[in-house]
Structure 1
């Protein structure tokens, strides 16, 4: 059989689907990471990894039917199993005599027999309890999977290092934890939103007024299209138009009167210069990240790499004001994150935004800013008019931001947007002008893609720089205006495809860009913030990367607990983390630097077995890695990868 020429190989590669190409290190193929030849495993196909919700077959090729549907596993079951036999919470710590079961031993659904419970527990995990080692006490008590390391079976008492526990309880604690009584009031609709209830009527009138204007404008356009209208009808229509304009003026006057009434009977909103000061000059910023941007992950980056600014996962405004336990868990933070911690919310209604902002400002003690998400491309939010849908409704967006600013007390309001909704139709520049002129937002973050693009194209930093220039010019104009001089500047942050220190500094040097926000780059390569500090590409060995995962596991157990349920949650979120973390291609096996965020490698082997395992795209290997820190996975443990391509085994 004759040997193929280089040009024939190249032609064959280019004819294959992008996700199935086999790269040779001497060929520079767009979208394919260039790996040294000795690390490439030939004739093996690595499933493509999608970053969004796009679906479709891999070229409808029967050979690859097992990889056919790409995109997200939207219907994955994330529930974790509980213990079959549960111990009553009043007996978790046998030493705590003050904690009694309110149902009584006979009526309680859970067991009060400690010996019976201990015999029924799953086999213990070997080693010392990570939570006890960290804080000197394990809140999971008898439910802990590492119970033997801090329990005296003879005296049936928990071992406690009270001196260490008292010390760590002050310096190593979670903040923004809402009391149960307040949640109960929210759930029963007994909580009074004083500022919101006064300001919402004013916004309601603005909404009604805007609807009248839009209706009038639409009618005017229809009239212009009709060229056969007689003069008499035209005069009548003009009278109707005048009447509508008069009504419009009355509505405006009513709105101003309502606003005046608001200022007379309620303490006026904080002026921009009276709110908390924000500094976004040359900061290391971790983007709000759904699912993976949880408290343990943010704490990990704060602890290892001293990130300057972090955000909560996106919380929906309506469940917040309804007192949802799961939603109020999202604004929780570690004490190390504040100051510099922002809470991100999403909503399509101004009354929800007002009440959510008021609740956050009054009920949470450690919040630096409230961020409105206007960039989320998820269909569920978009169809509800929230997220990136707000970019097509600037008047509604401005009302929402006005309401948030009026009801958030001293906490400043910030906003995150995209280039626009549709591809090749960017709308960020006119929107940013209105935001600066008509609202009091203190930071505008722009993601350099449209909603329609998702992650199919590289982030457009040239357009981000254009918007940055507009913001800079408007800031200078404010400084020249004596009446507006008291307002602090509006910071502008760029976001998208930052994967190394070169990307960071090159983009930050663009005109008008104050800082650069990092999202997926921080998930795939958390030490990107270390690279930024040292201004160099860092080649982390497999053992160093394994230590990062180990540290995350410890922080996860501290947050979710070391009992059966907590270990299951920690394992699930560790696997979610690895679903991005495994995409890192070691610097030492790359043929050229820097690699790009969206480049995919051919199937490769690492410099040692552990490096190969850490780079596996098979979710079963992710569970195997989790067992190194969290013990063997329970037989009932379930994990479905977010992306369908990772739900298939990678076989050599």
Structure 2
């Protein structure tokens, strides 16, 4: 059995394997999570929420907490500008019945950081301690924190951050191997992750330590495990247009879907999209980014991608895909290169339409 296909215990929560889907803003909605779960993701999260929006009982924020009946294990992530606001949000989320709650201290988006949230925590170590301690008092559910190596390369403080969240009694932590100032073109720093994980290992054998960053293939997930000592990996951009990455990592071998397998998953995703959002223009617009990611890597796909980027209903999207399918052999394999090579060829998140990226929303996030 692959290391990643083994169950793992986070406090009183048993997770079926060690490959998690990150709480991706504007992406990790119900339809996408269902697809990733079906392809093997052991733990998925609702996309990052704003503690301020929760305190205002913002309707859209509560809609983002939706959970499908098939989601047996589901986490949620929150960020906010003060310890009290985050702790209040954690108490609210605890009553919503989420299986685990994460505090985001690593989001690098300018709007989020400008509001004192996400990576802004890394400049204020005392607030890290206060926030986690107050949040710990607000819930008995497994509590975790996700953070980066530091705010800048000149101000690496991953070991101190790890010590502080451990002292405040988190049950799990995730380290992303970059600083806030570094872009995705900067390779993930596995040594930096290892330093934080070593602090956790020395603290308690019961802690779950998760590595994150550049996980585009099983080979890289295994490299991260061996070089950092992490107990699990969290997949972010590597799942965009490629939810099969969960199957690949838990099975411990490269996997590229045939066109027939690919089409089945994409059509199922559209069905889940319609089930969750309805038969309307918004549903189609929200699906566009996924369709662009899914269609990357097939022959002569530029024209179909251009058309899909303008679809206004899901029936139209299905027709376009089925027409395109007539010209592609069922056994055609999407990529000829390995996942690690693919990651260096293009960054799928660059294709996101940021105006449609709901993320934490504008509520309480203006800089």
TM-score (norm: length of structure 2): 0.79
User: What is the correspondence of 1:339-378 to structure 2 with a 5 Å cutoff?
Assistant: 339=73, 341-362=74-95, 364-365=96-97, 367-378=98-109
Q: Which residue of 1 is the match for residue 226 of structure 2? A: 509
Structure-1 separation of matches of 2:78 and 2:123: 18
User: What is the correspondence of 1:294-333 to structure 2 with a 5 Å cutoff?
Assistant: 294-303=29-38, 305-333=39-67
Structure-2 separation of matches of 1:519 and 1:470: 24
Cα displacement (A) at 1:521: 0.6
* SS at structure 1 position matched to 2:214: coil
Q: Which residue of 2 is the match for residue 455 of structure 1? A: 184
In 1, are the aligned partners of 2:214 and 2:238 still within 8 Å (CA)?
Answer: yes
Cα displacement (A) at 1:627: 5.0
Cα displacement (A) at 1:355: 1.6
Q: Which residue of 1 is the match for residue 134 of structure 2? A: 403
Give the structure with higher Rg (CA).
1
Counterparts in 2 of 1:293 and 1:575: CA distance versus 1, 3 Å? same
In 2, are the aligned partners of 1:553 and 1:570 still within 8 Å (CA)?
Answer: no
Deviations 1:590-633 (A, max 9, x none): xxxxxxxxxxxxxxxx4xxxx432x669543434695554569x
Structure-1 separation of matches of 2:15 and 2:126: 27
Which of 284, 293, 307 does residue 580 from structure 1 map onto?
Answer: 293
Counterparts in 2 of 1:400 and 1:433: CA distance versus 1, 3 Å? same
Structure-1 separation of matches of 2:255 and 2:131: 43
Residue 78 of structure 2 is aligned to residue 390 of structure 1: no
Q: Which residue of 2 is the match for residue 414 of structure 1? A: 144
Structure-1 separation of matches of 2:170 and 2:77: 14
Structure-2 separation of matches of 1:534 and 1:283: 11
* SS at structure 2 position matched to 1:315: strand
Q: Which residue of 2 is the match for residue 473 of structure 1? A: 202
Structure-2 separation of matches of 1:641 and 1:463: 28
Q: Which residue of 1 is the match for residue 260 of structure 2? A: 543
Structure-1 separation of matches of 2:196 and 2:16: 17
Structure-2 separation of matches of 1:616 and 1:460: 37
Deviations 1:456-501 (A, max 9, x none): 211111221222122111226xxxxxxxxxxxx2211000111111
Cα displacement (A) at 1:356: 1.1
User: What is the correspondence of 1:7-406 to structure 2 with a 5 Å cutoff?
Assistant: 277-279=12-14, 283-303=18-38, 305-339=39-73, 341-362=74-95, 364-365=96-97, 367-406=98-137
* SS at structure 2 position matched to 1:464: helix
Deviations 1:418-463 (A, max 9, x none): 11111343211121112212x0111110001111112121111122
Structure-2 separation of matches of 1:440 and 1:377: 25
Structure-2 separation of matches of 1:622 and 1:546: 18
Counterparts in 2 of 1:440 and 1:550: CA distance versus 1, 3 Å? same
Counterparts in 2 of 1:413 and 1:374: CA distance versus 1, 3 Å? same
Structure-2 separation of matches of 1:582 and 1:453: 28
**Matched residue pairs, number?**
315
In 2, are the aligned partners of 1:282 and 1:516 still within 8 Å (CA)?
Answer: no
Cα displacement (A) at 1:310: 0.5
Counterparts in 2 of 1:333 and 1:620: CA distance versus 1, 3 Å? same
Deviations 1:288-315 (A, max 9, x none): 1111111110011112x13210000111
Q: Which residue of 1 is the match for residue 323 of structure 2? A: none
Deviations 1:210-232 (A, max 9, x none): xxxxxxxxxxxxxxxxxxxxxxx
Residue 156 of structure 2 is aligned to residue 445 of structure 1: no
Q: Which residue of 1 is the match for residue 212 of structure 2? A: 495
TM-score (norm: length of structure 1): 0.46
* SS at structure 2 position matched to 1:463: helix
Residue 312 of structure 2 is aligned to residue 622 of structure 1: no
Which of 163, 169, 174 does residue 433 from structure 1 map onto?
Answer: 163
Structure-2 separation of matches of 1:426 and 1:501: 28
Structure-1 separation of matches of 2:303 and 2:244: 20
Q: Which residue of 2 is the match for residue 568 of structure 1? A: 281
Structure-2 separation of matches of 1:334 and 1:354: 26
Structure 2: gaps of 5 or more residues:
1-9, 321-350, 356-367
